[in-house]
Amino acid sequence: MQYEALIQAMGMVFTFETVMWMLIGSALGITMGALPGLTAPTAVALALPLTFQMQFAPALGLLIGLYKGAIYGGSISAIVFSIPGTPASAATIADGYKLTQQGKTLKALLMALYASITSDLVASLAVILVAPAIIAAALSFGPSERFWLTILAVTLIGSLAGKHMAKGLFSAALGIYLATIGSDPISGAFRNTFGLSVLQDGLPLIPLVVGLFAIGPLLEDGIALCMSKKRVQRVKVVFKEIFSSDFGEGLTIREYLRTWKEMAIGTIVGAIAGALPGLGAAVGAFLSYSIAKQVSPKKKIGTGTIEGVAASESGNSATVGPALLPLLAFGIPGSATVALIGGALMLQGLTPSPRMFSLYPEAVYSIFIILLVTNFCLLGIGRVFTLFFARVGQIPKQLIIPAIFMLSVIGTYVTEYNPSHVGLMLVIGVIAFGMRIFNIPLSPLLITFMITPVMEVNLRQALLIGGGDFYSALFDSPLAIGLIIITVSMLLGVYLLTRRKQRSPGLDE
Amino acid sequence: MASVISGNKCAWIRTNQALGVALTLLMLAFLTCTLLSTWVFKLQRDGFPLGFMSIAAICLMLLMSLAIIFDRHRHNKAREGSETEMAVTGTFLAYAFVLLTMVGLYFIAVLGVGFLLATPIFLFISASALGARPWSLVIFFAVFTTALISLMLTGLGTVLPAGVLFA
């Protein structure tokens, strides 16, 4: 433990500015999570341009607050409207909406909030305790091991995204291609620039993420609205309802403590799902829910119980802290949102890698402290404004879509005041739109885009060390062989599992 | 050519197999163009070909496109599982074009007349076109959102395009 760095980190985090941005991030995240159709990656993608102007700690406070807020916020829409605000909150509908139908909306919302924060806090503490050991182990990985680790991550992420493995891997391959646009990482020679000077420095991150996660989805939602017969909607009625309050009884401490088993299951399952690249919050939520249902059949999870809400919400929130572990330890983001946070670190001049802990320990400790403190911000904001957020979810898409389009354009432009970035954003938005309409997942594209430079540099370093001989460079180390075996086994395992799932539909993201 | 999806017939053109064929042809064309580029086989200082990663990525995309043609999902609708599942018709694509054009025109307007003038007009037109009513509240939303975002970004030290209003 580097005490000086820890004290420096505390000095960076416990400032008015950082705490203010954590609160703003949490509030915005809950709002965006509560709005159906807006996911955690969209929220973080839209905020990413803003962090360019900010210092390190406030920027991370905003983004991690957004991330956690959006994960919790998805449950609000699930409980109140039976519409998952985010894919991860779909598991909460089963019990959450039934509780609403029983007139116990507030109870369900508070259970979701307290379960989310409890599991997130425990999982974040586990990450803080485990991370130094994992980072130390990561330093013993050489270039060939790191190369195979990136191959494993790409394989997992591509094969686990969505139902159709080939489409997920197609998206991952597209991400690798897009990452090669610009200049060679070692020699600096230009490649895939198509004669455009704007591409000589590579595909800029902000137009990419905004185009992928804001423009693409919004186009589809906008078209759905345009083609809808019931398009015209009176906004006045919706605004009146936002300030009314009639949500039923609250949650007692005894009821909260009664769900300890379900929260424990959610925390453990969610932490493991979060730490493994490609699984994510939705898998954490559904797995926890299924396991809790089987472990406690007498509690009748699925009929409208707080235990069901506790299990799913713990499962999805516990993924947040552990999802940062592969990024901090190996520089490999395990999910789209973490890839965006990795992008934010790069915008701040820090490259996520095992070396980050030794070169910038205060930055890593700041991330750990922010992971913990954000939970309290979320608790405060969630507790006070839960009812308000529930109503905000009713703001019609006719207003949300134009606002997000506007934010996307302005946010992209003001990062570097380069008009061609907005053009790039729109082009990428069209590609993302095309991918969405044919159900090709977007997350693998972004994650492999971030991983590819690490993959290529390590491949070439390994070849240099091996004197140009592929075998001795890539297959000579027992750890590398082990990683290859794990990659092939995972690929086969996922393929066989999805074949079984086709016969018995169950988990789905 | 028709295909069966869970008991429902679907035109072949709407299946994953058709999507796979289209992607395969696209990737073959892309691979050919890339292989014919002058820079692809240039060796770098470390002996690594400049186009190695690009070619590897395109080959992987080609492989996956072929997999889409032949795997067990090949007869399923290409859009099965997507959030809206609307059919991709001429009207669908026309609306996409219109929305994109509106966003592009908005950006040109921001550069020309400034953020404070272009944004409320864009928000009003697009919200109304998407169906929000009554007009008075839409105007309020347009002005309020512009003011809020302007304050937020200015507070962060961001300089918004001024255009003709404050030139």
3-class SS string, A209-274: HHHHHHHHHHHHHHHHHHHCCCCCEEHHHHHHHHCCCCCCCCCCHHHHHHCHHHHHHHHHHHHHHH
Q: How close, in Å, is residue A28 to chain B by CA atoms?
A: 13
Q: Does residue A299 register a pLDDT over 50?
A: yes
Q: How close, in Å, is residue B79 to chain A by CA atoms?
A: 5
Length of chain A: 509
Closest residue, chain B, to A164 (C-alpha) = B73
Alpha-carbon gap, residue A316 to A312, rounded angstroms: 6
Alpha-carbon gap, residue B155 to B151, rounded angstroms: 6
Closest residue, chain B, to A225 (C-alpha) = B130
CB A120 within 8 A of CB A258: no
Q: Does residue A219 register a pLDDT over 70?
A: yes
Residues B31-43 have a mean pLDDT of 91
Closest residue, chain B, to A422 (C-alpha) = B107
Residue A303's beta-bridge partner residues? none
Token representation of residue A426: 């729109």
Residue B106: its chain A contacts at CB < 8 A? 405-406, 409
As for the ipTM of the complex, it is 0.89
CB A397 within 8 A of CB A225: yes
Q: Does residue A320 register a pLDDT over 70?
A: yes
Structure confidence at residue A240 as a pLDDT band (50, 70, 90):
low
- Summary count for chain A: helices (H), strands (E): 25, 3
Chain A with chain B: Cβ pairs closer than 8 A:
202
Alpha-carbon gap, residue A316 to A338, rounded angstroms: 15
The single-letter code of the amino acid at A459 is L
Q: Does residue B1 register a pLDDT over 90?
A: no
Residue ranges covered by each domain of chain A: 3-140+181-450
Closest residue, chain A, to B84 (C-alpha) = A224
Closest residue, chain B, to A462 (C-alpha) = B46
Cβ contact (<8 Å) for A406 and B123? yes
Element spanning A497, H or E: helix A478-503
Q: Is A467 an interface residue toward B (CB < 8 Å)?
A: no
Give how far Cα A162 sits from Cα of A158, A168, A229, A282, Å: 9, 7, 30, 11
> Residue A141 phi/psi, 5° resolution?
-80, 130
Residue of A410, A416, A464 to mutate for B, most B C-beta atoms under 10 A = A410
Average pLDDT of chain A is: 83
Residues A477-497 have a mean pLDDT of 85
Nearest to B130 among A169, A215, A222 (CB): A222
Q: How confident is the model over A17-66, as pLDDT tens digits?
A: 999 999 999 988 888 887 766 677 888 888 888 888 888 999 999 999 99
Alpha-carbon gap, residue A382 to A412, rounded angstroms: 30
Residue A163: its chain B contacts at CB < 8 A? 73, 81
- Per-residue confidence (pLDDT) for residue A36, from 0 to 100: 66
Q: How close, in Å, is residue A467 to chain B by CA atoms?
A: 10
- Per-residue confidence (pLDDT) for residue A137, from 0 to 100: 76
Cβ contact (<8 Å) for B57 and A176? yes
Cβ contact (<8 Å) for A177 and B54? yes
Residue ranges covered by each domain of chain B: 2-70, 90-155
Q: Does residue A243 register a pLDDT over 70?
A: no
C-alpha closest to that of B20 among B63, B58, B65: B65
- Residues sharing a CB contact under 8 Å with residue A84, sequence separation 6 or more, in sequence order: A36, A74, A77, A78, A90, A92, A93
CA dihedral B116, B122, B123, B125 (to 10 degrees): 140
Cβ contact (<8 Å) for A235 and B153? no
Residue A410 CA, distance from chain mean position:
23
Alpha-carbon gap, residue A267 to A319, rounded angstroms: 8
C-alpha closest to that of B24 among B67, B76, B66: B66
- Per-residue confidence (pLDDT) for residue A356, from 0 to 100: 80
Cβ contact (<8 Å) for A402 and B67? no
Residue A436: its chain B contacts at CB < 8 A? 82-83
Q: Does residue A235 register a pLDDT over 60?
A: no
Token representation of residue B160: 């918004």
> Residue B158 phi/psi, 5° resolution?
-85, 135
Alpha-carbon gap, residue A151 to A89, rounded angstroms: 30
Q: Is A236 an interface residue toward B (CB < 8 Å)?
A: yes
Cβ contact (<8 Å) for A235 and B73? no
Residues B73-100 have a mean pLDDT of 77
State the SS3 of A336-384. Answer: HHHHHHHHHHHHCCCCCCCHHHHHCHHHHHHHHHHHHHHHHHHHHHHHH
Which is more confidently placed, A81 or B6? Answer: A81
Q: How close, in Å, is residue B165 to chain A by CA atoms?
A: 18
Give how far Cα A243 sits from Cα of A238, A239, A379, A387, B36, Å: 10, 7, 21, 9, 64
CB A159 within 8 A of CB A144: no
Alpha-carbon gap, residue A203 to A214, rounded angstroms: 17
Residues A202-217 have a mean pLDDT of 85
Closest residue, chain A, to B54 (C-alpha) = A177
Any alpha helices (H) in A417-442, and if so which ranges? 419-437
Q: Is A220 an interface residue toward B (CB < 8 Å)?
A: yes
Structure confidence at residue A389 as a pLDDT band (50, 70, 90):
low
Residues B148-153 have a mean pLDDT of 84
Alpha-carbon gap, residue A145 to B50, rounded angstroms: 23
Alpha-carbon gap, residue B130 to B128, rounded angstroms: 5
Residue of A54, A86, A167 to mutate for B, most B C-beta atoms under 10 A = A167
Residue B70: its chain A contacts at CB < 8 A? none
- Per-residue confidence (pLDDT) for residue B165, from 0 to 100: 62
- Per-residue confidence (pLDDT) for residue B134, from 0 to 100: 87
The single-letter code of the amino acid at A285 is A
Length of chain B: 167
Lowest mean pLDDT among A68-72, A116-120, A329-333, A389-393: A389-393
Alpha-carbon gap, residue B4 to B17, rounded angstroms: 12
Q: Is A146 an interface residue toward B (CB < 8 Å)?
A: no
Q: How confident is the model over A185-202, as pLDDT tens digits?
A: 888 888 988 888 888 888
Q: Does residue A509 register a pLDDT over 50?
A: no
Q: Does residue A247 register a pLDDT over 70?
A: no
Q: How confident is the model over B3-28, as pLDDT tens digits?
A: 444 444 578 888 888 899 999 999 99
Nearest to B127 among A220, A234, A402 (CB): A402
- Per-residue confidence (pLDDT) for residue B30, from 0 to 100: 93
- Per-residue confidence (pLDDT) for residue A241, from 0 to 100: 54
Residue of B92, B107, B160 to mutate for A, most A C-beta atoms under 10 A = B107
Cβ contact (<8 Å) for B46 and A460? yes
Structure confidence at residue A234 as a pLDDT band (50, 70, 90):
low
Residue of B21, B63, B79, B100 to mutate for A, most A C-beta atoms under 10 A = B100
Q: Does residue B87 register a pLDDT over 80?
A: no
Residue of A439, A452, A499, A502 to mutate for B, most B C-beta atoms under 10 A = A439
Q: Does residue A258 register a pLDDT over 60?
A: yes
Which is more confidently placed, A506 or A47? Answer: A47
Element spanning B114, H or E: none
Residue of B64, B75, B93 to mutate for A, most A C-beta atoms under 10 A = B64
Cβ contact (<8 Å) for B80 and A430? no
Q: Is A399 an interface residue toward B (CB < 8 Å)?
A: yes
Residue A178 CA, distance from chain mean position:
21
CA dihedral A337, A343, A344, A347 (to 10 degrees): -170
Cβ contact (<8 Å) for B68 and A223? no
